[in-house]
Amino acid sequence: MYKRKKRKLKAAVCLGSLLAMGALGGVCGAEGNASTVVTMPKVMENGKTIDVYYRKGLSPEAARARGSVFKTESMILKAGTVRMPGAKPLSCDILFEKDVPVTLRDGTVIYTDIFRPVDEAKHPAIMAWSPYGKEIGGQWLDDVPGRSGVPVDAVSGLQKFEGPDPAYWVAHGYVIINPDSRGAYESGGNLNYWGAENANDGKDTIEWAAKQPWSNGKIGMSGNSWLTVSQWFIAGEQPEHLAAIAPWEGFVDHFRETANRGGIANPVFPELIFGTFASRNLIEDQPRMVVTHTLMDDYWQDKIAKLQNIHIPAYVVASYTNPVHTHGTFAGFRQIPSKDKWLRVHNTNEWMDYYQPEPVEELRKFFDHYLGGVDNDWEKTPRVRISVLDPGHEDVVDRVEKDFPLPQTRYEKLYLQADNSLSAKPAAKAASVAYPVSQPFGTSFTMTFDKDTELTGYTKLHAYVEADGSDDMELVVLTEKLDKDGKQIPDKMTGQPIQSMGFLRVSQRALDKKLSTDYDPVLASTKEELLQPGQVVPVDIAIWPMGMKYHKGEKLRLTIAPYQAPDRNTVPPFGKAKVTVPADGYTYDPAKPVAMKTLGGNETEVGAPQDVVAVPPSRNKGKHILHVGGKYASYLQVPVIREK
């Protein structure tokens, strides 16, 4: 176990941190450009057929793709050499096998890079599964302001984006497997997004790896974001030789947690990701599926991980501040039936935490135990450790708990009042608060704490709403901490206030009764119920988990506002960074200059710009009315943590 007292990064951008509030603008079928969009029938696991959109993306030669020369070969990367200027030198010799072919169950051939010790021994292996490119690729930390807190010399540059650093792991006796999944770069087939086909491709690759002469038969998986989502899905297919996973922030339900969160079709995140993919073939046009399949159907059911099948050991790492991954990471931990599972909630960001020395060492202890058979007392590691954020003060880090949600949670209701306050008691008389949808900040409700209070866990808004001038409403709700003067408190890392959000398209307000809990309502999204003039309806809006400390005199503010699309310039400029690597070979002696080449430098390059998916029209018109008090006792339910 390790402790970090402070979050030191002054500027960090987490992938998706500004995406959750809207959809990416664009054009579709621009004049003079032929569309590349096609549909293909896809048979789902239940036997039903869905027509799925596909389109062209970047070519592997595109500058933004930052691809490598395709060549199946082996070489020794010598200790002391570096991959790129400023990167960490290798501490040992590494046998690098490049573009190794792997044949999948249907005959499709994909290609993987393998980094392993230079010996004849059998080793445990860790696979990092994604389509981003096994060598640099369309996304790279240098594209992100401040490299998200990861110094250049913290890693060797051998790692694929969001994956484990081969230089570290090979030095400790591991093999790192970095595949380009189906359709990515030179891998055969069409590039797809998660689901059963993608998961079984990962399963095939794990079983292939376990049969290699260098394998001890135990394969693990690791990585952030897409690489975490892949772990949930691949582990759900139960590969025989997958021995342990380490999901480090990633969603489990693509429809509810990113694409159509709250029932609002949001192509921004998949469109952003799509723009970084490179393929010789077609790419699943998930942005178009987002705006054309706006209810939970067989297509989206296939994009839900089979958590119920995961019984292997899992070391799960979460945070409260990732609007793409927070909910799914906690849901994954809660729902997998594995008896050997651990949760750690950090207080920085997914990339910074993943590459810091202490978490890396702890992850190795986990894998040493379950992949290497080392008796190292890993199982004595506390099963749940959390952080509690405290902007303006010092965060709590690595506090040991029994479970999540915390067993000592007491859910309390704060009732919305007509004077825009929150109170422990509902108002006796019914009233309303309204705002025009042209007012982007909507309306807010505030309360002041009369004693130090911790709110850690799931929050929800139960409200009575009415649309004046429309038959639907699209809402965003958020909670945040204010100082004693009612001012926002900037986060130490980003300089922005920490907010926890929820979303709802009111016509999709019906809940899934099997999946919902009192503290975490889950939408069914199987039908639309449009509003009638003057109709007041109750809604439950899930606000993703947060751990926050409020001191006496500080304030909690709830904001309810009309959902609106953000400016696309708020997303990281993936592909912009110019990455310099050797023109020949793979690593070089920094004391002996060699010819170099530059990759990247074009964040606007898109495979088929005429086919970028546009923002769906807003359903917000006229005025939103919130009913409070009397028979309309709208409230914010918060998770109050009793002092031990």
Q: Are 217 and 346 part of one and the same domain?
A: yes
Residue 549 lies in a domain: yes
| 478, pLDDT greater than 80 | yes
Put simply, whether the predicted model's pTM sits higher than 0.85 gets the answer yes
| 17, pLDDT greater than 90 | no
What mean pLDDT, rounded, does the chain reach? Answer: 93
| 30, pLDDT greater than 50 | no
Alpha carbon distance 578, 576 (integer Å): 6
* CA distances for 224 relative to 177, 221, 330, 344, 364, angstroms: 15, 10, 14, 14, 16
Alpha carbon distance 419, 422 (integer Å): 9
| 5, pLDDT greater than 50 | no
Q: What is the pLDDT of residue 540?
A: 98
Q: Tell me: the pLDDT tens digits for 259-306?
A: 999 999 999 888 888 999 999 999 999 999 999 999 999 999 999 999
Q: What is the pLDDT of residue 22?
A: 34
| 33, pLDDT greater than 90 | no
Q: Are 271 and 335 part of one and the same domain?
A: yes
What DSSP designation does 202 have?
H
Q: Tell me: the pLDDT tens digits for 78-104?
A: 999 999 999 999 999 999 999 999 999
Choice between 293 and 29, residue whose per-residue pLDDT is larger: 293
Q: Are 362 and 431 part of one and the same domain?
A: no
Q: What is the pLDDT of residue 6?
A: 38
Residue 196 lies in a domain: yes
Name the domain count of the chain.
2
| 541, pLDDT greater than 70 | yes
* DSSP secondary structure, 293-357, as one string: --S--HHHHTTB--GGG--S-EEEEE-SS-TTTHHHHHHHHHH---SSEEEEE-SS-HHHHHHSH
Residue 27 pLDDT grade (very low, low, confident, very high; cuts 50, 70, 90) = very low
Q: Are 285 and 179 part of one and the same domain?
A: yes
Q: What is the pLDDT of residue 14?
A: 32
Q: Residue 505: give its domain's CATH number.
A: 2.60.120.260
Residue 1 pLDDT grade (very low, low, confident, very high; cuts 50, 70, 90) = very low
Residue 608 lies in a domain: no
Residue 578 lies in a domain: no
DSSP SS3 for 122: coil
| 355, pLDDT greater than 60 | yes
Residue 7 pLDDT grade (very low, low, confident, very high; cuts 50, 70, 90) = very low
| 23, pLDDT greater than 80 | no
Beta bridge partners of 148: none
| 28, pLDDT greater than 60 | no
CB atoms within 10 A of CB 519: 17
Alpha carbon distance 436, 561 (integer Å): 10
The candidate with the shortest Cα–Cα distance to 183, out of 299, 286, 49, 254, is 286
Q: Given 381, 396, 420, which residue is the final one in a domain? A: 381
Question: Given the structure tokens 């008896």, which residue do they identify?
Answer: 339
Residue 577 lies in a domain: no
Q: Are 373 and 450 part of one and the same domain?
A: no
Q: Are 77 and 123 part of one and the same domain?
A: yes
Contacts of 605 (CB under 8 A, 6+ apart): 58, 62, 63, 64, 575
| 112, pLDDT greater than 70 | yes
Q: Are 278 and 349 part of one and the same domain?
A: yes
Q: Tell me: the pLDDT tens digits for 313-328?
A: 999 999 999 989 999 9
Stretch 98-118: mean pLDDT, rounded? 98
Q: Are 189 and 331 part of one and the same domain?
A: yes
Q: Are 174 and 69 part of one and the same domain?
A: yes
DSSP SS3 for 201: helix
Q: And the tokens for 637?
A: 């339910």
* CB contact burial 472-494 (16+ within 10 A = b; e otherwise): bbbbbbbbbbbeeeeeebebbbb
Q: Are 284 and 424 part of one and the same domain?
A: no
Q: Residue 210: give its domain's CATH number.
A: 3.40.50.1820
Q: Given 381, 400, 425, which residue is the final one in a domain? A: 381
DSSP SS3 for 242: strand
Residue 572 lies in a domain: no
Alpha carbon distance 131, 330 (integer Å): 25
DSSP SS3 for 269: helix
Q: Are 434 and 540 part of one and the same domain?
A: yes
* CA distances for 642 relative to 346, 402, 411, 451, 511, angstroms: 21, 14, 11, 12, 30
Beta bridge partners of 219: 125, 242
Q: What is the pLDDT of residue 585?
A: 87
Q: Tell me: the pLDDT tens digits for 35-52?
A: 999 999 999 988 999 999
Residue 63 lies in a domain: yes
* DSSP secondary structure, 587-644, as one string: -B-TTS---EEEEE--TT--S-GGGPPPPPPP---SEEEEEESTT---EEEEEEEPP-
Q: Are 354 and 458 part of one and the same domain?
A: no
| 19, pLDDT greater than 50 | no
Residue 188 pLDDT grade (very low, low, confident, very high; cuts 50, 70, 90) = very high
Q: Tell me: the pLDDT tens digits for 195-246?
A: 999 999 999 999 999 999 999 999 999 999 999 999 999 999 999 999 999 9
Q: What is the pLDDT of residue 10?
A: 32
Q: Given 362, 381, 400, which residue is the final one in a domain? A: 381
3-state secondary structure labels for all residues of 520-545: CCCECCCCCCCCCCCCCEEEEEEEEE
**Structural domain that includes position 223:** 38-381
Stretch 591-600: mean pLDDT, rounded? 94
Strand order in the sheet with 109-116: 73-77, 94-103, 109-116, 175-180, 123-127, 215-224, 242-248, 314-318, 341-345, 384-388, 396-401
Residue 612 lies in a domain: no
